[in-house]
Structure 1
C-alpha cells in the first residue's frame, strides 16, 4: 500500500506539476495522512514540516490529528517498481519491461490519475493487452535477441519457408505514440497456439509453420525490422484474415488428400476381398474337370452296377462340398457388400466438402465396385452350376448305359 499512500498524498496537494521528479504542498494533519507519512514509502523520499519549518521527524507520534496543516515535499524514486509516468503513452514509450512482454507490477499514471494495481482504468486494460500481445509473439518466435540494452529494443526472429527456401524475418519490438490507438484487439488464436492444449493437436507444428509463413508473406523480409513490427500492429486485422485463409487452405488440402487416400484405400481393400473370394472358388472349381474324368469308366461295360453307383456317390459328395464352399463364399460376399455400403455412406457424408474432382472419383469408384460385385455374383452362379455338372452328367450317363 506504500505506493498508493504516496499517490494519495499527491492527490491531497491537488496534483501539482512535478518538476525535477519531486512535488510539494500542504496537507491536513488527518489520521489518514499521518498514517501515510508514517508508512514506508520506499523508493520515494518524504520531507515534511508543520507550521513552517519546524522539523517533526522526532515528533511523529505526537502529531495532532486536528486538521493542522503539514508542508510536505516528496522526491520520487527512479526504481521500476512503483514508478510514476506522465501518461499511458509515456509508459508505452519508456517502460523497458513492457517491450519484453512483462507488465510492470506497479506504477502511477499522472495524467490519467490511476494507480496500478490498486486501481483500474480502461487504459490499463489496453496496455495489458498490448503487453500480452508482445509476450505471445515472443513465445511463437523461433528465437529473440535482447542484447541491445541501450535502446531497450527486442529483436524477434521468425524463420519460414516460401517456395522451399527458408528465409528469416526480423521484427524489432518497439513502441510509438500511434500504437496506443491500434493495439490488436483480438489475438486469441496466437494465445491458443502457445497453450498446452494446442500442443496436443495433430496439426500443431503445421499451424506454427502456417503462422510463420503468413508473417513472412505479409511482411516482406527485406523490410526494416522496426517498420515490420509497426506494420504488423497497424494492419493486424489484415494479417489475421490472411492467416485464416492460409490455414484454411492448408487444412482443406490436407483433408482433400486424406479423403483421397481413404477412398483409394477403401476401393483397394474391397477389390482385394472380392479377388480372394473368386480365387478361393476358382481353386475349388478346378476339381470339376477331374470329376468329369471320373465319368469315363461309365462307358466301360465291364463296370458293375455297384462300382458305377460308388463313383456316382463320390461325385455327388464332391458336388455337395463344392456347393457348400460356394455358399460360404456367397455369405462372405454379402458381408463385404455390407461393409462397402457402410464405407461409402461415411464417404458420402462428407461429399459436400470435397472438391469436384474427388466427388467424380468417388462416383467412378462406386460404379467400378458395383460392377465388381455384379460380376462376382454371376461367377458364383456359374460356379454353382459347374459344381453340380459332374454328378448330373454321371447320373444321366449311368442311366443311359445301364439301360442298354
Structure 2
C-alpha cells in the first residue's frame, strides 16, 4: 500500500509538499494513470487521493494527502526524519520516504546517510543493553543511559547520564566495528572466558570518553562522534588485561618451575651428602695399610677400599645421570618460555633470562662437584692398590701376591656392586 503511494508521488514528479499535501497539474501520462489506478482503493492510513479531475486537453489535476503516521511517512530530508522519528529508542521507522534522497525503505539500494543513521539506531540498542542502568520511561522518544567510572586514588566515582535523543546533528557520522559490541553482548557468548571483564572495559571506555567532554550538552552525540576513541581505549585496556593475565600466569609458572628445579637439583646433591662423609674415613685405611706387615691384612684392606671406591663411584654416577635428566627436562619446559620471550614485557624477559642462567649455572656447578667427588671416590682404592704394589714389588712372591690382591679386590668389588 505505502509503496503504491510512493510510486504515485514519484510519477507526478515529486512535487513540493505543504501540510502533507502534494499537488500536480499536468499531462495524464500512462505512468500516472497506472499509479492512480493502483491507489484507487488504498487504505486511508497509507495516504489518500483527495482530488483527481481532468481539466481538458489530456491534462489532469491531482491532489494527494500523504501519510504522516506510524503506517507511513514522507520526510523532506534525513534531518527532518531525525527530528521527528523514533530513532532515539533505536527504532528506525518503516514505510518512510525521504524526498531529497528520493529513497523509500523498500528500495534495493540504500544511500550512505541512511546506512549511517541506521547504525546510530543500532548503537542506541547496544548501549541500552550495555549500560549500568536504563531509564526507558521518562522520555517517550529516548532512553536515559547511566555509565559510571570507578574511583581511583585521586578521583571519586562518577556517574554519567546519556540521553539517546537523536536530531539532525547525528547525520553524517560513521560508526564502525559495531560487531565488536554485538559479540560482547550476544547471549550466545555468555559462557566465554572473561566476557564480564570485557563488558566492564567497554563501559569504562564509554565513561572515560564522556568524562573528557563532560561539559558538552549532548553526551550521546559525543559518544557517536568519538566512537573511534571508545574503541581505542577499549582495545588498549583489553590488551593490558590480557597481557597482564597471561604474563602474571607466566610469571607464576616461571617462579614455580625455578623453585621446583632448583629444589630437585639441590636434592640430588643432598641425597649423597651423608654418604660422602664416609669418604674421608676411608682415607684412614692408608695409614693402617702402611703399618701392616700381614699379607692377609693387606688383602682385606685393599679389597675393602676398592669396594668403597667402586660403591661411591657408582652412587655418584647414578646421581650424575639423575641430574642430567633433570637438566634435560628443565630445557624442555623452558624452551616453551624461550619461544614466547619476545611477546613478554621487558621485565618478564629479564626475569626469564636470569632464571635460565641461574639454573644452568647450578647445573654446571653440580656437574663439576660430581666430577670432583668421583675423583675423590676413586682415590681410596687406587692409592691402596698403588701402596700394595710398592710394598711387595721387590719380591717375586710379593708381586704374585699383589696381583692376586688386586684381582681379588676388583672381583669382590664388582660382585658387591652388582648385588
Report the TM-score when normalising by structure 2.
0.74
CA apart distance, 1:271: 0.9
3-state SS of paired residue (1:15): coil
User: Are the structure 2 counterparts of residues 246 and 37 from structure 1 closer, same or farther at C-alpha, using a change threshold of 3 Å?
Assistant: same
Aligned to 1:159: 148
Distance 1:284 1:118, change over 3 A: farther
- Quick one: distance in 1 between partners of 2:38 and 2:358? 89
Match of 1:37 in 2: 39
Give the whole-Å Cα distance in 1 for the aligned partners of 2:63 and 2:263: 95
Report deviation, 1:180: 0.6
Give deviations 1:139-181, integer Å, cap 9, x for gaps: 322232211134x221112233241764433211122322213
2:20 aligned residue: 21
Q: Distance in 2 between matches of 1:123 and 1:314?
A: 100
* Residue number in structure 2 paired with 1:168: 159
- Counterpart in 2 of 1:143? 133
Counterparts of 1:1-400 in structure 2 under 5 Å?
A: 2-25=1-24, 32-33=34-35, 36-37=38-39, 40-41=42-43, 43-47=45-49, 51=53, 71=62, 73-79=64-70, 81-96=71-86, 98-119=87-108, 120-150=110-140, 152-163=141-152, 166-195=157-186, 202-220=193-211, 223=214, 226-286=217-277, 288=279, 305=296, 316=306, 319-389=309-379, 391-392=381-382
| Contact 1:312/1:394 (8 A) holds in 2 | yes
**What's the CA shift for 1:268?**
1.8
The CA distance in 2 between the partners of 1:304 and 1:39, in whole Å, is 137
Task: Point out where structure 2 has 5 or more consecutive residues left out of the alignment.
Answer: 393-397, 402-419
C-alpha change, 1:95 and 1:287, in structure 2 (3 Å) is farther
**Structure of larger gyration radius:** 2
The structural deviation recorded for 1:220 is: 2.3
- Structure 1 residues 357, 78: closer, same or farther in 2, change over 3 A? closer
- Aligned twin of 2:414: none
**Quick check: 1:144–1:154 contact (8 Å CA) kept in 2?**
yes
User: Secondary structure of the equivalent of 1:181?
Assistant: coil
Distance change (3 Å), C-alpha of 1:19 and 1:384:
same
Cα deviation for residue 342 of structure 1 reads: 4.1
TM-score by length of 1: 0.76
Q: Matches of 2:386 and 2:17 in 1, distance apart?
A: 125
Q: Distance in 1 between matches of 2:384 and 2:10?
A: 121
1:9-46 CA distance string (max 9 Å, x none):
11223323333334454655767325522565463243
Q: In structure 1, what is the Cα distance between the partners aligned to 2:148 and 2:305?
A: 78
Question: Do the aligned partners of 2:209 and 2:226 also contact (CA within 8 Å) in 1?
Answer: no
CA distance 1:40–1:209, change in 2 (3 Å): same
How much does 1:114 deviate? Answer: 0.8
Residue in structure 2 matched with residue 63 of structure 1 by the alignment: none
Please state whether the residue corresponding to 1:184 is helix, strand or coil: coil
Contact kept? 2:92, 2:118, Cα under 8 Å: yes
Give, in whole Å, the separation in 1 of the partners of 2:97 and 2:121: 17
Instruction: Tell me the alpha carbon deviations over residues 83-132 of structure 1, each in whole angstroms, 9 at most, x when there is no partner.
Output: 33232112222222x22223334321123221103342222212122222
Quick one: distance in 2 between partners of 1:161 and 1:311?
82
Give the paired residue count. 386
After superposition, the Cα gap between the structure-2 partners of 1:248 and 1:51, relative to the gap in structure 1 and judged at 3 Å, is: closer
| Alignment RMSD (CA, Å) | 4.1
Structure 1 stretches lacking a partner, 5+ long: 54-66
User: Counterparts of 1:312 and 1:39 in 2: how far apart (Å)?
Assistant: 127
